Amino acid sequence: MALITLRRNLCHLSDFRIHGALAALRNQRVNHVHKIVQEHLCPWFCSLPPGPVRVRFCHAPCQKYHSENGNDLPPVGEPAFSQVHDWDRFEQNLKNEDEQISYRRLNNFTSSEEVLSFLSTLQTLPDAVAAGALKRICEVEKKGDAQRLPKEILENSIFQAVCDQLEQDPSNLSNATLATALQALTLSYVDPRSSLLPKLVAECQHRLGSVGLDVHSLCILGESLIKLRGPDCSAVERIICLLQGENLEAFTPEDVVTFYRILQMCPNSVHEHQAFLNKMNTFSLSVVSSLSPNLMSQMLTALVVLDQTQALPLVIKLGKHAVRHIPHFTNQELGKVLEAFIYFGHNDRFFTRALEQHVAPLCLTLDPEVLSTVMGYCGSKRILSKPILNAVAEAFVCQPEKFSLSQISELIEPFGKLNYLPPNASALFTKLENILLTHFSSFPPKTLLKLLHSCSLIECHPVNFMAKIFSPHFLQRLQGDEPYLDRLSLAQLTQLFLTSVLECPFYKGPKLLFKYQVKSFLTPCSSLETPVDFQLYKSVMIGLIDLLGARLYFASKVLTPYRYTIDVEIKLDGDGFVVPFTVDEDVHKRVALCIDGPKRFCLNSKHLLGKEATKQRHLRLLGYQVIQIPYYEIEMLKSRLELVEYLQRKLFSQNSGRHWYQE
């Protein structure tokens, strides 16, 4: 192992010559080094608390924790995962205790000055410690999108000596040291003029063809080469093929996640490796319990990018284990987890409950992006979580200025979708109206339309802005460069116009031109109505035939002139008798049966979604007698006779004035 001699307090000696030290190093023995380093570090190190804690996961049956399928989860209060950090992994590969102590101490430093000062106290510098020091400097100096280290670091004589040592003879570096050095260079480029990077990359490529590399080194080298040379680097494909030849049992949790990240950065070649990726998805089920919050977030992100919709068992298990990590996720990690669950359509009531406990008390301190993602998760999964919705509403009222215009829309839309008004609704919509008045023209047109439409779903009608959104100028902005407006935007405009007519009779502004109005709100992919549940509809239809005596006395899926589709329509004459649906004359009353399946309600609740509540509200204003047939009432019935009796009570109660048709 190559060593370099460094004098104590080297950083304070301006006349020190690095090359002289290197020359002196070649002529002296190094057997005494370990003792000197140990004696020097022992007083300092023993006074410190123990190094990074390596938490071990205990596979024991869960006693106080969610485990629906009997997964091995630790009881509350025990360590949550056994993630071994890269620093710890590398430290375990070091050949002696002195190197391990030095490497562990490097991990505790929080600035480059501390690292360089520490190096100046060492009598010798092993390659492994040099690579660790380079990595730590690049880690602490990584700021934003900066790709280069500060000039004062690059010109520091100790830093240059570290780079020279790693560059001098890469063939003598261990696999772990080579991987660590390359990993450091992915964080910050040392110097574009330096030959360090080309030599390390060349050595990496050489070893791929001649030296057996372990899984961990292959993973680090693969990811580093992609970052440094791009996904088209020939060595990357070689590494992926080598990894596929390894036994999956040789992959640690962090290796598994690194492999996912490698494929994530090579999206064009995913289909070529899908067979192995399927095996990895299955194997990953066994390591989920050992993932740290960061690794869990990275795995879910990779599964999204790789479009692994067939890996739902893995996503479900990740969701169950993510519950315990919610307080420990960073804002960015939590956002990625939620985005993945939205993408895969996953939800878990235990995860939602933990999210409520975390978000509600910390809402004012969470990043706006996280809050908007949390609301997107609730909205997309129809989760009516009053603690989350109330907390987010309060955060917006208290700090509206910290939210971008798109984030404001993402915060408000779920209120309309879930048909929920928070306790501070008055203050919330006052703040929102002020923002709209000030920044109306700054909102992207489609974002603005979705926002105003969401408000109307909870009867907070944007009357002050209807004239603007029905104007030719706004419609032209909404269309943009497209040859025509998309169907969802047209449907939202149409429903807003219908709202202005039915619920805002005092509105006297411009009307929406007929060419911008849709004929039906029930359309694929852009529907403002939820299609009827077929099985529920089939059951109700059988009951109606038994009750009314013939299929002739009701119509199904009737498209009204007002764009809404009625599940079942029954016509009554002036005496309240049911008449055949083919009769158009002397129809005194129309009854609209809303056969509401689970998808028309918020998840696991009896609370109608905003669009369904709006539909029923509008039908009543249009003169229909709306009768709701919810799924949770039908599910309580045990026989066909009970179903008929139920429908009779619904349709022909004593005070309704409705009767069976009589000849």
What pLDDT, on the 0 to 100 scale, is given for residue 607?
Answer: 97
- Does a structural domain hold residue 199? no
| 255 within 8 A of 84, measured Cβ to Cβ | no
Cα(648)–Cα(338) distance, integer angstroms:
45
**Averaged confidence pLDDT in the chain:** 83
Query: Under a CB-based contact definition with an 8 Å cutoff, are residues 245 and 210 in contact?
Result: no
Tokens of 354: 């933990």
Residue 662 has pLDDT above 50, yes or no: no
Residue 543 lies in a domain: yes
| CATH code, 607 | 3.40.960
The average pLDDT across 299-313 equals 94
313 pLDDT higher than 70: yes
pLDDT at res. 264: 92
Q: How many domains, in total, are found in the chain?
A: 2
Give pLDDT, residue 211.
Answer: 62
pLDDT at residue 70 is higher than 60? no
The residue ranking higher by pLDDT, 543 or 50, is 543
Structure-model confidence comparison of residues 96 and 197, the more confident one: 197
Q: pLDDT grade, residue 412 (50/70/90)?
A: very high
d(CA 376, CA 353): 16
| 16 vs 7: CA distance, rounded Å | 9
Structure tokens at 252: 């640690």
Position 147 scores a pLDDT of 67
pLDDT > 60? residue 47 = no
Per-residue pLDDT at 232? 81
Which pair of tokens denotes residue 297? 């977030």
* Range(s) of the domain holding residue 588: 534-651
Mean pLDDT check: name the lowest of 53-67, 139-153, 379-393, 601-615. 53-67
**pLDDT-based confidence at residue 58 (cuts at 50, 70, 90):** very low
Residues 407-423, mean pLDDT to the nearest whole number: 96
| Confidence label for 61 from pLDDT (cuts 50, 70 and 90) | very low
Q: How far apart are CA 521 and CA 490, in angstroms?
A: 10
Most confident stretch, 59-63, 262-266, 448-452: 448-452
- 358's tokens: 């975390």
Q: What is the DSSP letter of 250?
A: G
Give the number of other Cβ atoms within 10 Å of residue 60's Cβ: 11
Residue finishing a domain among 187, 222, 255: 187
User: At 288, which amino acid appears?
Assistant: V
Select the more confidently predicted residue: 124 or 30. Answer: 124
Q: What is the pLDDT of residues 604-657, one digit of tens each?
A: 999 999 999 999 999 999 999 999 999 999 999 999 999 999 999 999 874 444
| CA atoms of 88 and 174, how far apart (whole Å) | 16
**Measured over all CA atoms, what is the biggest interatomic distance in the chain, rounded to whole angstroms?**
119
Least confident of 50-64, 241-255, 444-458, 592-606: 50-64
Tens of pLDDT, residues 430-449: 999 999 999 999 999 999 99
Residue 328, amino acid: H
SS3 state of residue 224: helix
**Average pLDDT score over residue span 317-337:** 93
Q: pLDDT confidence of 26, banded at 50, 70, 90? A: very low
* Helices and strands, number each (H, E), in the chain: 30, 5
Which one is predicted more confidently, 296 or 143? 296
146 or 467: which leads in pLDDT:
467
Name the domain boundary from 156, 187, 218: 187
Q: What is the pTM of this model?
A: 0.77
Q: Could you tell me if residue 345 is inside a domain?
A: no
600 domain-assigned: yes
| Structural domain contains residue 415 | no
Identify whether 100 is part of a domain. yes
* Residue 316 pLDDT grade (very low, low, confident, very high; cuts 50, 70, 90): very high
Q: What is the mean pLDDT of residues 79-87?
A: 44
pLDDT recorded at residue 97: 66
With both helix axes pointing from N to C terminus, report the angle between 349-362 and 312-322 in degrees, rounded to the nearest 10. Answer: 40
Look at residues 131, 166, 187 and tell me which one is the last residue of a structural domain: 187
**Considering the domain boundaries, does residue 90 fall inside one?**
yes
Band (pLDDT 50/70/90 cuts) for residue 56 is: very low
In a domain, 42, yes or no: yes
Mean pLDDT of 59-81: 38
Cβ(356)–Cβ(387) below 8 Å: yes
Instruction: Please write the tens of the pLDDT for every residue from 193-234.
Output: 678 888 888 888 888 877 678 898 899 888 888 888 888 888
Q: What is the pLDDT of residue 602?
A: 97
pLDDT value of residue 62: 36
Structure token pair of residue 613? 């509540």
**Residue 329 pLDDT > 90:** yes
Q: For residue 520, is pLDDT > 60?
A: yes
409 is written with which tokens? Answer: 């829309």
Residue 21's pLDDT is: 37
The predicted pLDDT at position 43 comes to: 36
Tell me the average pLDDT across 6-23: 36
Who wins on pLDDT, 82 or 102?
102
Q: Is the pLDDT of residue 29 over 80?
A: no
Lowest mean pLDDT among 26-30, 52-56, 354-358, 482-486: 52-56
Write down the pLDDT at residue 126.
Answer: 87
Burial class (CB in 10 A: 0-12, 13-18, 19+), 247: exposed
More confident site: 52 or 281: 281
